[in-house]
Amino acid sequence: METLKSRLSQEILNGYSHRVALWGMGGIGKTQIALEYVYIYREYYDRIFWISAIDQGSLLSGFQKVAVALAIPSRAGSRLQELADDVLKRLQGAQKWLIVFDNVDNAELVKGLLPENGPQKHTLITTKNLHTHGIPADPLEVPLLDCQDCVKLISTISNIHIAPDSPEHKEAERIALELGYLPLAIEQAGAYIREILHDIFSFLPKYHRSPKRIHERVPHGNRDYEFSVWTTCQLSFEGIDLKSPDATKLLSLFSFLHPVPILFSFVHAGSEGLDEELQQIIQDEDRFEEAVFVMEQFSVVQPRQTEGVEMHRLVRAVIQDSLSKDSRQRIIGQVVQLGISAFPSLDTGLQYEKCRQFLQQVMACLGPVYAHQDDRSWLIDPYWQVLADRVEDFLLTDGDYFNSLGLTARIITKLESLYGKDQPVVLAATNSLALAHDKLGNWEKARDILQQLIATSTRILGEGDEVTVTAKYILASALGNLGHWKEAADLYAEVVKIRSRLLGREHPDTLLGYDSLAAAYGKLKKPERALKIFQWVFDVCDPGDPTYLYKMYNMGSGNADLGNWKTAVVWYETTLNLAKKNLGPEQELTVWTMNGLALAYMELERPGEAVTLFETTLKIRTEKLGPEAPRTLWIMHHLARAYRELGRWEESSNLFRKTLNLREKVLGPNDPDTMLTRNEMESLEKCRTGSLSK
């Protein structure tokens, strides 16, 4: 209130002195703040007037009441402008007055009706329009409530005592988050708890079952604001539709996109997937900008610098619930096509940065899988699975295994509910789930899933089906990570044999099997045989193939296994430069290459360069996989070695100790990796005491 009082009182250079517009989305409490200001500062003003500006009739009625209060003689049949001129003329000669224009959402309605202001002549305006210069007035945004204010409001309205740190307090915080901290929604929730439920813990289950019913409900009793959340949003939508049908069409589309923010670059990139009318709106720069401007005027979206706009979750929900089933399904289909058009397949070339930029946007296009909704219409669209597979592939390739695991698990649940448990599409998705577990170091979990999957897939689809073969390929990886390299090599050889017969010896999927077989040979101390396979695969691989950089990495790995460290460094350094440029500095292959190069530097007695690389990859692995993931612990172990080689004894000792503790916890005290770290620690202590020479 003090800020508002100060803004009304101050002189603003090149601005609108003594005229302030409170702006914000419907239901955020603009009118309530104006009422509270009037009450608090009622002694400061000699006269206070309130005019509703929702339409021309309200304005006329309001000015008539002000004229009566100012004892202005009435003129029979006077029009709004004539009446306003009489009022404004009288106010011009008066002091210490405040006039409030409530709900000025259409600035054109008040053109020529606003008084001249001065140090003791104040005008307060409430509006949804963030572009207040068009009124004109000095803008003052009304923000959403913070979480603790929401908790207090819920407690007050529901008549339920909420103690700090209590279960009720945590539940109130969850309610506030679910309702997006919007004051009107919080007030309605508190009233619903008081009048209907009498229990704070019953609200969210009820809300999740029937949000529309709760949004439409108007609490009983006297209230300063007569509308529900539903009605408030609908009034905004009606105003938008009157001003711009283009904005209405975009608004429906936007309500199914990622709300914070809705990236304009994503919408433009995917516009080819939309119907002709939406394409024309989006691809015509003037039409698109005008439509967004109208949406901003009603605060159903708010600008996010120049990159896009944000949409409140309740606005999004009300728009979706307002659509008919046919309209909803039609827009859903377009959203999926938008995602496919904007999000490139990795098979089309190396576009990792574009994929990363659009990842959250395209995850929202997957609908209920990402948002935990239960509308099967999303899954009926055949293109939905195309988009889901594309996102899964990217997450796995980019090393984002946590998100991949979560997304795949939800996809499987949805597919099982639609098609049944043992259908081919479900079995194929299970391969992705097992692969994510394998990459996260959950090797036993991956093994168990895959062994069951192979039995089921062989029975239903056959031994040569790609789902079965892929399951065997991933199982070989899990077995290798568990130390069973002989079994892994046998499985890789089986996969290569089947794929060579069905796809051809030089097919990319067959070559992938050969690469993995060669890696297994390296682990089995057969480096010559491994390098021979790596070299053959590299020679036959097309340089334009998306996996070409992986073949280059394998050449470095094969030479490293043979002890050709200088040659390995050349391969690794070349691969690393290209990987950083084409895939990004944190992509999975980039991390592998940095680790391989760091090990090569260690062997060539260049520990300083190794430390720089290991510190970089440790940060990436910790952020993506977590501090206890086996791949993270592997880097920690070798970074501790590098510190030791540089004579940084204290850092080496501390890191070895931390690695040992975590490996004992995660892998067990008798795991080979755990014992290796324990031996390295003992070696370090002997070096420090001089028992051994470096």
Query: The CATH number of the domain where 567 resides is what?
Result: 1.25.40.10
- CA angle, corner 138, sides to 137 and 140, nearest 5? 120
Among residues 403, 434, 483, which one has the least CA distance to residue 667? Answer: 483
- Minimal CA–CA distance to 108: which of 302, 288, 300, 297? 297
Among candidates 132, 123, 446, 543, which has minimal Cα distance to 297?
132
Element (H, E) at 191: helix 183-192
Structural domain contains residue 253: no
Starting at the edge strand found earlier in the chain, the sheet holding 302-304 runs: 262-263, 308-310, 302-304
Q: Rounded mean pLDDT of 664-684?
A: 90
Domain assignment present for residue 549? The answer is: yes
Q: Name the range with the highest mean pLDDT among 151-165, 342-356, 392-406.
A: 151-165
> Quick check: 403 pLDDT over 90?
no
SS (H, E, C) 98-122: EEEEECCCCHHHHCCCCCCCECCEE
pLDDT for the residue 272: 93
CATH number for the domain spanning 121: value is 3.40.50.300
Asked if residue 94 and residue 184 are part of one domain, the reply reads no
466 lies in some domain: no
Assess whether 209 and 170 both reside in one domain: yes
Global pTM value:
0.76
> 636 with 560, same domain?
yes
For the segment 475-497, what is each residue's pLDDT rounded down to a tens digit?
999 999 999 999 999 999 999 99
Residue 397 falls within a domain, yes or no? no
pLDDT tens profile 148-160:
999 999 999 999 9
Query: CA angle at residue 111 from 105 to 117, to 5 degrees?
Result: 100
584 and 643, same domain (yes or no): yes
d(CA 569, CA 353): 27
3 state SS of 125 = strand
379 has a pLDDT exceeding 70: no
Contact 141, 23 (CB under 8 A): yes
Domain boundary among 82, 108, 141: 141
Does 113 reside within a domain?
Answer: yes
- Please state the rounded mean pLDDT for residues 631-635: 94
The candidate with the shortest Cα–Cα distance to 377, out of 342, 335, 420, 435, is 335
The verdict on 32 and 155 lying in the same domain is no
For 68-106, the pLDDT digits (tens) are 899 888 776 678 888 888 899 999 889 999 999 999 988
- b (16+ CB within 10 A) / e for 365-397: bbbbbbeeeeeeebbebeebbebbbbbbbbbbb
Q: Are 135 and 152 members of one domain?
A: no
What pLDDT is recorded for position 13? 57
Q: Do 22 and 121 sit in the same domain of this protein?
A: yes
Specify the pLDDT at position 373: 46
The C-alpha atoms of residue 389 and residue 375 are separated, in whole angstroms, by 19
User: Which is it for the CA torsion 331, 337, 339, 341, positive or negative?
Assistant: negative
Q: Domain count for the chain, please give it.
A: 3
Residue 286: how many CB atoms within 10 A of its CB? 7
Domain membership of residue 96 as a residue range: 2-141
Report the largest interatomic distance among the alpha carbons of the chain, rounded to a whole angstrom. Answer: 111
Please choose, from the candidates 38, 189, 47, 64, the residue with its C-alpha nearest in 3D space to the C-alpha of residue 124.
Answer: 38
Model confidence at 500: pLDDT above 50: yes
| pLDDT of 368 over the 60 cut | no
Q: What pLDDT sits at residue 222?
A: 64
Torsion (CA) 626, 628, 630, 635 in degrees, nearest 10: 80
Last residue of a domain, one of 141, 159, 190: 141
Q: Is residue 588 part of a domain?
A: yes
Is residue 205 domain-shared with residue 115, that is, in the same domain? Answer: no
Average pLDDT over residues 448-477: 95
In a domain, 578, yes or no: yes
Task: Single out the residue in 194, 216, 238 at which a domain terminates.
Answer: 216
> Residue 58 pLDDT > 50, yes or no?
yes
Torsion of CA 602, 608, 610, 611, to 10 degrees: 130
Asked if the model's pLDDT at residue 376 lies above 70, the reply is no
194 and 114 fall within a common domain? no
Report pLDDT digits (tens) over 247-284.
999 999 999 998 888 999 999 999 999 999 999 999 99
User: Which residue bears the tokens 């304009």?
Assistant: 264
Same domain, 108 and 176: no
Contact 261, 307 (CB under 8 A): yes
Residue 371 has pLDDT above 70, yes or no: no
Name the band, by pLDDT with cuts 50, 70 and 90, for residue 396: confident
Helix, strand, coil percent values for the chain (each to nearest 5): 65, 5, 25
**Is residue 262 in a domain?**
no
- DSSP letter, residue 685: H
Verify that 57 and 111 share a domain, yes or no: yes
- pLDDT of 611 above 70: yes
How many other CB atoms are there within 10 angstroms of residue 59's CB atom? 21
pLDDT at 372 over 50: no
- Reference 252, options 191, 179, 194, 335; nearest CA is 335
211 & 67 share domain: no
